[in-house]
Structure 1
Amino acid sequence: MEVLQWFVDLGASVMLPIIFFIFALILRTGVKKAFYSGITIGVGFVGVNLVLDLLTESLGPTAQSMVRHFGMDLQIIDIGWPAASAISYGTVLGSLAIPISISVNILLLTFGLTKTINVDIWNYWHVAFTGSLVYAITDDFVLGIFTIGVHAVVLLLLGDLLASDVESYFGFQKMTFPHAASAPSYFLAKPMNILFDRIPKFNKIHANPESIQQKFGFFGDSTILGVLLGFLIGFLAGYEWKDILQLTVQTAAVMLLMPKMVALLMEGLTPISEAASSNIKKRFPDRDLYIGMDSALTIGHPAVLSASLLMVPITLAAAVILPGNRVLPFGDLASLPFLFCLMVPVFRGNIIRTVITATIYICIGLYIATWIGPLFTEMAINADFDTGSNTIISSLIDGAVWTTFIFAGSGKWLGWLGIGMIGITSIGGLLYIHRLKNKGE
């Protein structure tokens, strides 16, 4: 366990190159090619994280200024995902999330019940979050363990379901994103897209980055769009002109640099993905597997960034307007792209559809984050986390995600029966899409 924790503590930029180097050797890609691919993946992740840090460092203070500018006074503070992940892994139960999730993945792969090989080990903290949350509610350690296993199954189901949309829109071959903060929004996007398609005139509006650039020319370019959005956010934050201009350039830089960093990451992943696909077809001609990765790979898409930047002021406005909301969006405002990124392939990059659906999603999410606030605070205390002067804490990632409510609510009101029903439903879903449906076809 200590060795595994040490490995995870290396961080994604070191851990993933090692994992993919070993994976490439198993696939017989050759030592030199495997090493180069692994290093390129590591460098790509460093680049992605550098740009994400730029986004966080620019939007973080801006969010604080917005809060002060609009005089927001809400009792529950959003502490952000870095603190949430530390709390999740900080409990005894949370530390078991990685071996449990890996075991569940191997078991389902063995029986042909999933197509996803989830190598995004660091982000298993999300299942540690729900497991620890259920434990805080029920005081049942074994039920917390069971919740972790069931959530791992749910993520593999989500990964399998969204793989085709991810591949067809983003162009990531044999890749999917079983990310617990990102994948759940896919389920709202699907029915909303059907609804949008049935609204006359609205269904004719094409607002993806390509059509926007074609229609507006220079002002439709993603980098220029970053300039405009940065200027708008800085203005709403009540910044002085110097700070507005600095934020404007920083958001433009994020819009320009992020796709380049993701392209570098994909340069390392592509040979391994192709080798995996080739080997699987030889050994299992009837199976098609996907590599489960961090949804950070999608953040660089112009539609994701544009919609997410627009959602910053919208989220703050919703927090003030919604009756009964007690959560002050703060730490996770810069991480909003993770909540909405997997809506984008469903809407084929349509920014208007994404923003409308994301607004509905975050409004519901604020109520969920408010509800789990006391439970999350108890979980933090169990992990010996210093909450400072905040009596109640929460987060948007994963606190505003509907799966968190389903797990926590089922654990609270139905106990073993509720979590068991989620597990049975998920296994049933996997059976249907991989066996019964295939036989029918």
Structure 2
Amino acid sequence: MKTVSGVVQYILNMGPSVMLPIMIFIIALIFSVKPAKAIRSALTIGIGMVGINLVIGLLTSNIGPAAKAMVKRFGFHLTIIDVGWPSAAAGAWGQPISSILIPVLLVTNIILIMLKVTKTLDIDIWNYWHMVAAGSVAFIVTQNWWFSILSAIIYMIFCLVIADWTAKDVQEFYGLEGISFPTGSSDAFGLLGIPISAAIAKIPGIKNLHADSETIQKRFGIFGEPMVMGIIIGAAIGALGGYDIAGILKLGINMGAVMMLMPRMVKLLMEGLMPISESAREVLQKRYGKDREIYLGMDAALSTGAPATLATGLLLVPITLFIAVILPGNRVLPFGDLATIPFYVSLIVARRRGNIIHSVLAGAVVITLALFMATDFSPVHTEMLRGVVKFPAGSAQVSSLDMGGNFLNWILLKFSELVKGFI
């Protein structure tokens, strides 16, 4: 067990920029891609992922301080701090059950593909932390290893099924051929948000409101271009944070840079993925017939290549803080996960075909529900992170939108609490 744990931790410590190319290279060889081409694809994907992470870092490092400034300026007082997905991931990996879950989940995914339960091969090993977190929560509540493993597997099955369900949206709207998103947070928000957005799209007066990035650009000219949209939204967030003119302009330019650079990074990563996706399709169709296909499960971060997704996520940052303050019963102060809201709404935006108005409205409803769940989740969330991460000053309890406000996690938490009485 100690050896397995050491190997798993060593692999995880390499980070997604190294893990992903290794996985891609192995999968490319399995699907008969020539070694030279497999190496080139794997390296291109690794470099693309580095670029995406750099742009996400730019987004996070700017939105985080802006959100903090808004909290301070408006005097928001909530007792549970959203510590963000990095802390939640660290807490998940820090549990004793985590070491054996990675190989178990990999084998489970392969078996489910062989049984035709899913078409998604989840190669985004780093984001297995969502499944590990579900297993860790079950272990904390029940102290039962077998139930913990079962919970992680159930969570994976949900993610794979949702990834299959939304694959056509991902491929058609984002232009990611052969790709699906089995990312836990995106799937959970999408599971709630897609039907909610469909209902919103039927409301008289709202159903005819359509504002995707292309329509905005046509109507407003240069002011509707993604780069300028990013600058305007970033400047507005800076103004809400009480920044001076220089700070507002700097935040605006940085958000414009995010809107401009992210699509280019995603395009680079897709250059590496395409040969493998095509080869996988050919091999499967030769062996199992023309109807057999496979989706490569990737990080929902790829969705941020679409201006509508980034715009929706950025608009929801101040909206989320406002909802948190006025929502009766909520005790969570959103902070650590504000910069990753674009990931959460990725499937909603894809289903609404980039309609920013419908996506923002649906996102606001889902975030409202997520705040209730995150508040309820806080005792177990706090227990999972205790001794693993340093709590913010003055905070007795912590939670997060990504894990605590995640519908799939919350359902499994309630299931664990129910099962506890029978184990």
Q: Which TM class, normalised by the smaller chain length?
A: over 0.9
**What is the rounded CA distance, in whole Å, between the counterparts of 2:106 and 2:343 in structure 1?**
23
* Counterpart position of 2:329: 324
Return the offset for 1:414: 4.2
1:336-357 residue CA offsets vs partner (Å, 9 max, x unmatched):
1121111111100000000000
1:118 aligns with 2:122: yes
Describe the shift of the 1:282–1:416 C-alpha distance in structure 2 as closer, same or farther (beyond 3 A). Answer: farther
- Tell me how far 1:197 sits from its aligned partner: 4.0
Corresponding residue of 1:387: 391
Does the alignment pair 1:413 with 2:418?
yes
* Corresponding residue to 1:247 among 246, 251, 257: 251
Cα separation, 1, equivalents of 2:263 and 2:97: 37
Between the aligned residues of both structures, percent identity stands at: 42
Distance across 1 between alignment mates of 2:93 and 2:133: 8
1:223 aligns with 2:227: yes
Which structure 1 residue ranges, 5 or more long, are not aligned?
419-441
Q: Distance in 1 between matches of 2:403 and 2:388?
A: 20
**1:298 aligned residue:** 303
- State the AA in 1 paired with 2:285: K
Matched, 1:157 2:161: yes
Is residue 63 from structure 1 mapped to residue 46 from structure 2 by the alignment?
no
Counterpart pick for 1:24 among 28, 46, 70: 28
> Which moves more between the two structures, 394-403 or 358-367?
394-403
Alignment partner, residue 173 of structure 1: 177
CA positional deviation for 1:201: 4.2
Please name the residue that 1:81 is paired with. Answer: 85
For 2:213, the equivalent position in structure 1 comes to 209
Q: Runs of 4+ in structure 1 displaced over 4 angstroms?
A: 414-418
2:148 aligns with 144
CA distance in 1 between counterparts of 2:388 and 2:52 reads 31
Distance 1:189 1:239 in 2: 33
Unaligned runs of 5+ residues in structure 2 are none
Q: Match of 1:341?
A: 346
The residue number in structure 2 matching 1:376 is 381
* Aligned with residue 366 of structure 2, among 361, 364, 367: 361
C-alpha contact (below 8 Å) 1:75/1:392 kept by paired residues: yes
Which residue of 79, 87, 98 maps to 1:94?
A: 98
| Aligned counterparts of 1:3 and 1:137: Cα–Cα separation in 2 | 27
The amino acid across from 2:369 in the alignment is I
Structure 1, 185-194 or 24-33: larger mean CA deviation: 185-194
Deviations 1:80-102 (A, max 9, x none): 11111011011111222211211
- For the residue of structure 1 that corresponds to 2:75, the secondary structure is coil
2: CA distance, partners of 1:204 / 1:353: 10
The answer to whether the 8 Å contact 2:200/2:362 transfers is: no
Deviation at 1:118, TM superposition (A): 0.6
The CA distance in 1 between the partners of 2:131 and 2:97, in whole Å, is 11
TM-score w.r.t. length of structure 2: 0.95
Question: Match of 2:373, SS?
Answer: helix
Residue 40 (structure 2) aligns with: 36
Task: Report the CA distance between 1:240 and its aligned residue.
Answer: 0.9
Cα RMSD (Å) of the superposition? 1.6
Deviation string, structure 1 residues 309-341 (Cα, Å, up to 9, x no partner): 000100110111011111111111111112111
Where does residue 351 of structure 1 map in the other structure? 356
SS of residue in 2 equivalent to 1:348:
coil
**Displacement of 1:416:** 9.0
Moved more, 136-145 or 4-13: 136-145
The alpha-carbon distance between structure 1 residues 239 and 345, as it changes in their structure 2 partners (threshold 3 A), is: same
Could you tell me how far apart the structure 2 residues matched to 1:58 and 1:406 are?
33
Alpha-carbon offset, residue 388 of structure 1? 5.4
Q: Of residues 8, 14, 30 in structure 2, which corresponds to 1:10? A: 14
Question: What is the alpha-carbon distance in structure 2 between the residues aligned to residue 351 and residue 277 of structure 1?
Answer: 33
**Structure-1-length-normalised TM-score:** 0.91
> How many Å separate the matches in 2 of 1:206 and 1:170?
18
Q: Distance in 2 between matches of 1:388 and 1:249?
A: 30
Paired residue type of 2:190: Y
Q: Distance in 2 between matches of 1:93 and 1:131?
A: 7
* Counterpart-to-counterpart distance in 1, 2:323 and 2:201: 26
Give the Cα–Cα distance (whole angstroms) in 2 for the partners of residues 193 and 12 of structure 1.
Answer: 32
Q: Distance in 1 between matches of 2:81 and 2:410?
A: 18
Task: Give, as a single letter, the amino acid of the residue that structure 2 aligns with 1:375.
Answer: V
Residue of structure 2 in register with 1:432 after alignment: none
Q: Distance in 2 between matches of 1:306 and 1:175?
A: 22
